[in-house]
Chains A and B, each alone.
Chain A
Amino acid sequence: MTHAPATLLAAMIDGTLSSDDEQALMDAARHDPAVMADLLDLLEADAIFRWEARAAAKVRIETRRPPRPLPQGEHPRTVGVSAVAAALLLATAAIAIYLFALTPDPRPLIPDAFPLATVLGTSPGSTLIANDTIVNPGTEFTRGETSLDTGSAEFRLDNGVNVRLTGTTRLIVHDPMRATLAAGAARFECPADAVGFQVAVPGGRIIDQGTAFDVEIDASGHARVGVIEGRVDLRSTASTEPVSLGEGELGVLYADGALARGIPLPPPIVTYDLAPLPTSPAGKPSTGTHVDRINRPAAVIDDPAIPDGDWTVSLWFRRQSPQLDPHTVYLAAVGNRTSIDPGWSIVIGSGRGELGGRLVVRLSSGAQVAAATGPVITDTRWHHVAMVYDRAAGRVRGFLDGSANAWTPGGGGAQTDRVSPPLSTDFSEPLRLGLIADNVGAGQPPVPIRLRDVQVFHHALSPLQLRAAYRPHGDAATHHATDDPTYPPPVSPSLSEGDLQR
């Protein structure tokens, strides 16, 4: 009796095909392309399931097995070439197992009850959930999904990989060598023993080569990657050629598998390079741009195009003297002429006040103030400063030279960097660039600070995007690639500097 192709195919996959049926199946496949296509698809699916099931089981066993201690007095022996080859093959197979990340799947192929991570800490007000359970510092958890609502949380996998989640983030830990970042941002610090640790993202995988690196997934599923130290490989689902990123380098693994070095920024709404402003015959800006300490800014932009939503204002500034100004200097401001006036500002606090010359970003409705305080800058190099407003979170953040590390909540009367409910930023005020505090009289020495490349973005740029804004070429060396060693790389080569000291 000849069975239907479906029966033959089912028996073939499950290994119960008789000799006669096998001949019938071959005949059917030879004469019917549809049967051949079914045969190939079923064989491939069967192989994939076996491969993944075996890999998952192998990883589970290997990660739980303690190292065998050498008996006292025993020394490693010289091994033959065949043993080395076998070891290489095993290593190759092990690496291969780790290289093939599963796509995000909250249900692991093989359940694993063994804990593989320990929570190190969470920031105040944040909640870390692992496998549907809130976990606190010291708690161990098993493979599966971890999610963070806000703030930051840190945990360590049992192979020493340190994972720090920031903001609303979902990370699926498959095993100590593989995780999938489904949303949000995370930093991974991998010890030498964990070389090969990989993070799957929608467009491919990020494979550690002994390093620490940041990954952010944006709303479109694109993964931005920044290497802090060491090296990582970006391996796309669409390409066999990985892109290798070294220390300080940035890259993007797009959701469709495309790879790029560097992180492109969204186009700014507007860029003010200050140079095109009309100037007087004496070489000074002609209209409302003379800083004479009677409340007149270096530049006024009547329609600054600041959206009433998420935004980022980014600029470069340089002190021309290390001496701190006795008055507050507004590098950029819309309203907000005192810390509680409605509006927002990026300021250098008065050298005499409690801020002691620190950088401050501040947003105020009059009743509510959100602010963040940064470091004191006394050198005369060019620095990049950015203020980011995340409307949904009601949060302002400051970044200096691509980093938010030195910034703390509060400053100028504010106790927090958040406001609730989030503020509208439609202040109907012009944008003023380079402004001295209102109550300073004329005739005093000019402000020895210069500004350039002021940009407004209709996005709350991410930390890695701001790192890219600070390093537009992804290479710290470019900061010194001009005649003036204190000069930053221009945002655009055609832009020239503006100067508050007029």
Chain B
Amino acid sequence: MSMRFSERQQRFSQQLTGCQDRLYAYISALVASPDAVDEVLQRANVVILRKADEYDEAAPFVAWACKIAYYEVLGWRRDRSRDRLRFDDAFVATLAEAAAERSVDFDDRRRTLRRCMGKLSEDQRSMLLRRYTPGESVQQIAESVGRPVASVSQALYRIRRVLVECVRRAMSEDPA
């Protein structure tokens, strides 16, 4: 049996799949644990699909999706109110607002970030890639290089600062 999608459904699907990275980044700003980010993103996708008919195509899709994701973050925090959560509710609300505004330029920044990676030294790049290899942690890196965790954390921070400054410079020179 073949299934045919309407043009609206196709557009919706394209927009949803096309903004997964932005939603991931948005949720990551509000939820600390990577596993929790995946969980909230999955929940948000379910709700977004369920509310597909309610979406007004004249409105920006990402902003609409971020709003739904925000409510899912709040729901997730409510479910885990006995656990230690990163940041208080008021601060999460402030972050959510700022993160949603940033989603407009997200693609530009992501592309610029990749370009800026090329400006790192081989050692810096290698350390950063290792940090983000699934299963690797700052503790493991610290053990393998024989340095304190705080020292590795600071080294990674300096690398990230170099990248952030590089992206900022590039974006201010070429805001498009």
Contact = CB atoms under 8 A, between A and B. Distances in A.
A15 B134 contact: no
B8 interface: no
A45 B113 contact: yes
Interface in B21-40: 21, 24-25, 28-29, 32-34, 37
Contact of A14 (B14, B133, B138, B168): B138
A57 interface: yes
B102 interface: yes
B69 interface: no
Nearest to A55: B21
A1 B17 CA distance: 45
Contacts of B161: 6
Interface of B: 13-18, 20-21, 24-25, 28-29, 32-34, 37, 42, 45-46, 49, 61-62, 84, 86-88, 91, 94-95, 98-99, 102, 106-111, 113-115, 117-118, 125, 128-129, 131-134, 138, 149, 153-154, 156-157, 160-161, 163-164, 167-168, 176
Contacts of B49: 85, 88
Contact of B99 (A40, A92, A237): A40
A54 B109 contact: no
Contact of B87 (A22, A49, A54): A22
Contacts of A14: 138, 153, 156
Contacts of B176: 238, 256
Contacts of B99: 40, 43-44
13 contacts: A7-B154, A11-B153, A14-B138, A19-B84, A26-B87, A36-B98, A38-B164, A45-B164, A51-B21, A53-B133, A103-B115, A237-B111, A240-B15
Interface of A: 6-7, 9-17, 19, 22, 26, 29-30, 36, 38-54, 57, 85, 88-89, 92-93, 95-96, 99-100, 102-103, 105, 107, 109-110, 233, 235, 237-238, 240, 242, 256
If over half of A's interface residues share one DSSP class (helix, strand or loop), that class is named, otherwise mixed; here it is: helix
B86 A22 contact: yes
A51 B25 contact: yes
B111 A103 contact: yes
A477 B164 CA distance: 52
Contacts of B114: 102-103, 105
Contacts, number: 137
If over half of B's interface residues share one DSSP class (helix, strand or loop), that class is named, otherwise mixed; here it is: helix
Given A26-B87, A93-B20, A240-B62, 17 more contacts: A10-B157, A22-B87, A41-B168, A42-B160, A44-B109, A49-B131, A49-B132, A50-B34, A53-B132, A88-B49, A89-B42, A99-B17, A99-B18, A100-B21, A102-B114, A109-B132, A242-B14
A29 B91 contact: yes
A223 to B, nearest CB: 15
A43 B29 contact: yes
Contact of B154 (A10, A19, A36, A105): A10
B160 A13 contact: yes
B134 A57 contact: yes
Contact of B29 (A40, A53, A256): A40
Contacts of A102: 114
B132 A50 contact: yes
Contact of A48 (B113, B129, B156): B113
